Amino acid sequence: MSTDPGYDANGTLPLTRDGRAVSDRGGTVCVIGAGASGLAAVKNLLEHGFGVDCYERETGVGGAWNWRHDRSPVSAGTHLISSKPMSQYPDFPMPDAWPDYPAHGLVLSYLERYAEHFELKPHVWFGTEVVRVEPAGGDRWDVTTRSTGGCGSQRTSRYAAVVVANGHNWAPRMPAYEGQESYRGEIIHGSAYKEPNQVRGRKVLVVGGGNTGCDIAVEAATHAARCWHSTRRGYWYAPKYLMGRPTDQVNAGVLRWRLPLWLRQRLMHRVLRLVVGDLTRFGLPRPDHGVFQSHPIVNGQLLHHVGHGGIRPVPEVARFTRHSVILTDGRELDPDLVVMATGYEPRFEFLDPGLLDRDADGRPRLYLHTFPAAQPTLAVAGLVQPDSGVLPLAHWQSVAFARWLRLREAAPQRAARFRERVSGGARGRWKDATPTDSPRHWFEVSHDVYLRELQRALDDLKAVPA
């Protein structure tokens, strides 16, 4: 045993970083976030025999679906837009008695039941925020945490691997218009819209044609004194049901026919023409892209309210004056409240941007939006925006990562095949139709294309027979 100062009783040099003690967690994997993706990662890593420490900045599980959380983007009226079978984890079905499109409270209760059933909570450090994740050599990671809100001291622990599951729908993407700073009305981001009282009796302008903008416009149609809905392009509006079945299930049925994309697009154009009709009759702009080329907007009520005069479609905002908003067609509106439903930016403040191969715009370039080319023991879970549910994809992403960690110990040569796939696939798209050029499509995937590629990866990573 060494008696040198700095060595501990076992004769080993205690780990330090920047003069701070580092606690060595051995082969344990760190998971950041206990939302839907983080919970799936904790469960699948435990099932593959790993120790797991999960850090969650909030005091409960559920992430975006826990609307008590500060950063939750859901509002009182939010329901799933992906139907139940397309939204649930493959190994934990939602109850049969639940409706096709559960409300956000049911989704939270589903995630809480999942955490209970698989006994995940003992592995989660609640109220603990990850502030830094740094390479520690030997493909290991130093993870620095503190109590949420910044009180208390920081603590650094060293892990064998890290899964980042911090969500990508919480940091508002706010546009900046000329004159906006001197505007006297109220401007909020769509994530700050929580319930209809915020628009009751007011003149409201909703900017943005994604699902958030459409949902808020629909609520404003019945509660606000007036509602304008500004979009910078035309969209396809899918109803929640086709022929009495949830639309995503009908779509999944059509996918089974294995028709070429152009034929599926033509088929869906016909169906929408028949069910929804000519959008320009409602005063909406004609879509500037084909069906399946943008993230689906699933809203059966928007056109109803446009047709009843509750929602007035207007073009893009050009600029603000002190008391009004000027549109690109020169019209002047005088809203009391402007809701910017303009989407979200991905944020990874605790990671050096290079570690996720982020490009100049800040967009990570990862194989399957999950695996960085140069960081074998780092993965991101849930950084996808599918045309159906996120949870099944997040489940299989974390199974793949757990299998990869096991295989690199057991069969390095076979594991190398997977790394080749990762290096070659960082710029993949996993989307059948080319999406419109918008940051909202950075992580857009077609669930069938994505799962097929993930299945290939999972095949590469099959366990070595004992």
Ligand X SMILES: NC(=O)c1ccc[n+]([C@@H]2O[C@H](COP(=O)([O-])OP(=O)(O)OC[C@H]3O[C@@H](n4cnc5c(N)ncnc54)[C@H](OP(=O)(O)O)[C@@H]3O)[C@@H](O)[C@H]2O)c1
Ligand Y SMILES: Cc1cc2nc3c(=O)[nH]c(=O)nc-3n(C[C@H](O)[C@H](O)[C@H](O)COP(=O)(O)OP(=O)(O)OC[C@H]3O[C@@H](n4cnc5c(N)ncnc54)[C@H](O)[C@@H]3O)c2cc1C
Residues binding ligand Y (CB under 6 A): 32-38, 55-58, 63-65, 73-74, 78, 80-82, 87, 129-130, 165-167, 169-170, 212, 350, 382, 389-391
Q: Does 399 bind ligand X (CB under 6 A)?
A: no
Q: Does 246 bind ligand X (CB under 6 A)?
A: no
Using CB under 6 A, which residues numbered 407 to 446 contact ligand X?
Answer: 438, 440
Q: How far is the CB of 35 from ligand Y (least distance, A)?
A: 2
Q: Does 341 bind ligand X (CB under 6 A)?
A: yes
Q: How far is the CB of 369 from ligand Y (least distance, A)?
A: 11
Which of ligand Y, ligand X, none lies near 218, with the C-beta cut-off 5 to 8 A by kind? none
Q: How far is the CB of 224 from ligand Y (least distance, A)?
A: 19
Q: Does 338 bind ligand X (CB under 6 A)?
A: no
C-beta closer to ligand Y: residue 33 or 310:
33
Both tokens assigned to 180:
């906006």
306 and 279 Cβ atoms separated by less than 8 Å: no
* Three-state secondary-structure class, residue 339: strand
174: left (phi over 0), alpha (psi -120 to 50) or beta: beta
Q: How far is the CB of 30 from ligand Y (least distance, A)?
A: 10
Q: Does 386 bind ligand X (CB under 6 A)?
A: no
Contacts of 427 (CB under 8 A, 6+ apart): 365
Helix extents (H) in 120-246: 211-223
Distance between CA atoms of 57 and 133, rounded to whole angstroms? Answer: 15
| Alpha carbon 385 to chain centroid, angstroms | 6
Q: How many Cβ atoms sit within 10 Å of the Cβ of residue 113?
A: 13
Using CB under 6 A, which residues numbered 263 to 322 contact ligand X?
Answer: 295, 316
Contacts of 432 (CB under 8 A, 6+ apart): 261, 292, 446, 448, 449
C-beta closer to ligand Y: residue 418 or 443:
443
* Three-state secondary-structure class, residue 237: strand
Distance between CA atoms of 142 and 22, rounded to whole angstroms? Answer: 8
Using CB under 6 A, which residues numbered 168 to 227 contact ligand X?
Answer: 169, 175, 190, 207-213, 215
Q: How far is the CB of 343 from ligand X (least distance, A)?
A: 3
End-to-end CA separation in angstroms for the chain: 39
Which of ligand X, ligand Y, none lies near 209, with the C-beta cut-off 5 to 8 A by kind? ligand X
170 and 188 Cβ atoms separated by less than 8 Å: no
Give Cα separations from 300 to 98, 223, 272, 452 (angstroms): 20, 18, 12, 30
Return the residue of 157, 375, 385, 446 that touches ligand X, per CB under 6 A. Answer: 385
C-beta closer to ligand X: residue 143 or 306:
306
Total chain residues near ligand X (CB under 6 A): 26
Stretch that binds ligand X, among 74-82, 131-139, 400-408, 414-422 (CB under 6 A): 74-82
Q: Which helix H or strand E contains 205, and what residues bound it?
A: strand 203-207
Q: How far is the CB of 32 from ligand Y (least distance, A)?
A: 5
* Residue with tokens 């580092």, as numbered in its chain: 22
* Three-state secondary-structure class, residue 184: coil
Q: How far is the CB of 325 from ligand X (least distance, A)?
A: 12
C-beta closer to ligand X: residue 175 or 277:
175
Residues that bind ligand X (CB under 6 A): 78-81, 169, 175, 190, 207-213, 215, 231-233, 295, 316, 341-343, 385, 438, 440
